[in-house]
Amino acid sequence: MYSTIQTLLGRLLTLLLSLVGGFAIPSMLQAQCMNFSTDFYWANGLGGRPRAMFVHDDGTGPSLYVGGSFSESPRNHIARWNGTSWYGFGNGLGIVGGDEWVTSITAFDDGTGEKLYAGGHFTLSPMGFPVYYNLARWNGTSWSELPQGPASPQIEVHDILAWDDGTGPALYVVGNFSMFVATSSGGTAITAGIARWNGTAWYDVGGGMNGPVYCLEVWDDGSGPALYAGGGFSMAGSASAGGVARWSGSSWNPVGSGVDDIRALSFCLHDDGNGQALHALTFGSNSVVRWDGQSWSAIGPWPTSITSIWSLFSADLGNGPRLLAGVSSSPINIPPVWEWNGNAWVPNPIDLDGIVLTSAEFDDGHGSGPSLYLGGQFHRAGALVSRRIAAVSRCASPVDTMCVGDGTVAACPCYNQGARNSGCANSVSTAGARLTASGSPSNDTLALTTMNEPASAGTIVLQGTESVFGRVPFGDGLLCLGGRLVRLFTRTASSGSVVVPAGGDPTLRDRSAQRGDALIPGDVRYYQAYYRDVSATFCPAPSGGTFNVTNGVRVVW
């Protein structure tokens, strides 16, 4: 038996080494325990890009509202996540399958109670005729347009925000539109880029802008809260403005010298320990800038490998607020989330396989504080399938299940899908063999247990430094591990189960050190058990073989 296992291990290692170059995801030291939610597997993720997130309590408890270009019933461009399940809004916004999207979500009391508003580029279909309204409100049962709103198939609402500038509560709407509005003197005028809705009518905001407006934020620079607008404009009302302007309640004022090349795409409020400041992601001469109330300063420079910056956000995962950016790069294996450490931009351990477009902190009830929700163009978070949305939890448990064989990651070799959180089915269990962890890595009491193997299967418990995202079919199962591989223990199953370490064995940490991989706090390792399944008829070659693998387990030490 031992020689057979050795031979099979050699085959396993050979295949793994041949695959690492194409599928491996670089592992990184973790500054803190960081767990990804298992909720957003393939069938429960989102089919298109999320572009907006907003936390709101409609009276039934806080929920995360997500908008974007995803189009699938009932999650048609907008959906609600309550921490355990998705809910739709009637038929959603726009045409199912249409090239439409939601870019901003907020809540506003229009005088008849607080309602949810969504802006973007989408149709509503009164009387069956699609009309572009691009801004809609939810009354609890259906979406409706705002009378004489920014309705045109050529425009997009970029951002919406509720704010009282001293003239009463209003919904501020920005984009690339122009429209007729009322003026404070009682007449009418055409405004561009920005308008104000008070619940019954549209009003001018200081004469509008001479270019598109992309973002809004309320911030107090020490002189009182004020509304800031950013975009591709050089004039805000009659004031010269380099892409950012401040609304006083009666007029626009430049932010900075008036000739600063800011051109803000989005705003982010962040406190780096010196007080909260307004940060902006821009398409100006500096990608990220900071306004402290007196002057702009560049946050950079960026490494030449970073080709685009898609988002800017502040989050606290238990070790204080961090200024984070979602990026893309060349080569593409550069980490997709970077962090400003006060002196330079450095990779952050948030491990995704694509770009981050939007984020929000939402307490989903997992028990250790708010999770950081991320949306964008990706399919994996850590070692878990996470389809275009991911939740990064504070450290409630440093152990995650990964690489399951239930068909949500990839089809098993003979379509022998197992149960959720298990490996592919084998000849004795339709659920498949499962690998679980008990104890704690922090005090080195972690133990790994397999179940549902063939009764006396030869088993190898493996440790890897990386995960293989491609989920390569291997034998009757799916392969997860990559990077540097360590054979921790070789065992024969008893009644279909293996437990390591067993009596007299070194701990997992000590065993790893013995095998040449000394673990330090914050290291991430991946585990999977490889076992014999001698039934040649269950999943025969060439699709399968006479061996299988469990699901994987990800551990932050």
Q: What residues form DSSP beta bridges with 56?
A: 63
**Is the distance from CB of 94 to CB of 72 less than 8 angstroms?**
no
Q: How many domains does the chain have?
A: 1
Write the CB contacts of 2 (distance below 8 Å, at least 6 apart in sequence).
Answer: 458, 490
**Is the distance from CB of 36 to CB of 393 less than 8 angstroms?**
yes
Which pLDDT tens digit goes with each residue over 431-443?
A: 999 999 999 898 9
Which pLDDT tens digit goes with each residue over 69-106?
A: 998 767 889 999 988 889 888 778 877 767 889 999 99
- Model pTM score: 0.71
**Is the distance from CB of 443 to CB of 515 less than 8 angstroms?**
no
Res 13: pLDDT: 41
**Rounded Cα gap, residues 261 and 266, in angstroms:** 14
Write the CB contacts of 304 (distance below 8 Å, at least 6 apart in sequence).
Answer: none
Position 415 in a domain:
yes
Which of 322, 323, 331, 332 is CA-nearest to residue 355?
Answer: 332
Say how many residues make up the chain: 557
Residue 512 has phi, psi (to 5 degrees) of -60, -45
Cα end-to-end distance, the chain, whole Å: 33
Q: What residues form DSSP beta bridges with 245?
A: 229, 254
For residue 43, count CB atoms less than 10 angstroms from its CB and return exposed for 0-12, middle for 13-18, buried for 19 or more: exposed
Write the CB contacts of 73 (distance below 8 Å, at least 6 apart in sequence).
Answer: 88, 91, 92, 96
Confidence of residue 303 (pLDDT cuts 50, 70, 90): confident
Which pLDDT tens digit goes with each residue over 382-399?
A: 767 899 999 987 655 678
Res 528: pLDDT: 95
Mean pLDDT of the chain: 85
**Rounded Cα gap, residues 527 and 542, in angstroms:** 26
Confidence of residue 253 (pLDDT cuts 50, 70, 90): very high
Which pLDDT tens digit goes with each residue over 334-360?
A: 789 999 988 999 988 788 889 999 999
**Is the distance from CB of 474 to CB of 414 less than 8 angstroms?**
no
Position 124 in a domain:
no
Position 530 in a domain:
yes
**Is the distance from CB of 63 to CB of 57 less than 8 angstroms?**
yes
For residue 540, the enclosing domain spans 2-27+400-556
Confidence of residue 146 (pLDDT cuts 50, 70, 90): confident
Bridge-based pairing state of the strands 131-132 and 123-124:
antiparallel
Please compute the mean of the pLDDT values over residues 193-207 and round it to a whole number.
92
Residue 393 has phi, psi (to 5 degrees) of -95, 150
Position 262 in a domain:
no
Position 500 in a domain:
yes
Which of 166, 161, 163, 200 is CA-nearest to residue 181?
Answer: 200
Res 125: pLDDT: 65
Portion of the chain with pLDDT greater than 70, in percent:
88
**Is the distance from CB of 159 to CB of 119 less than 8 angstroms?**
yes
Position 503 in a domain:
yes
Res 32: pLDDT: 41
Please compute the mean of the pLDDT values over residues 35-53 and round it to a whole number.
87
Position 498 in a domain:
yes
| 465 against 426, higher pLDDT | 426
Position 267 in a domain:
no
Six-digit token string for 267? 């705003």
| 274 against 500, higher pLDDT | 500
**Is the distance from CB of 196 to CB of 170 less than 8 angstroms?**
yes
A 10 A CB-CB count for 500 gives 20
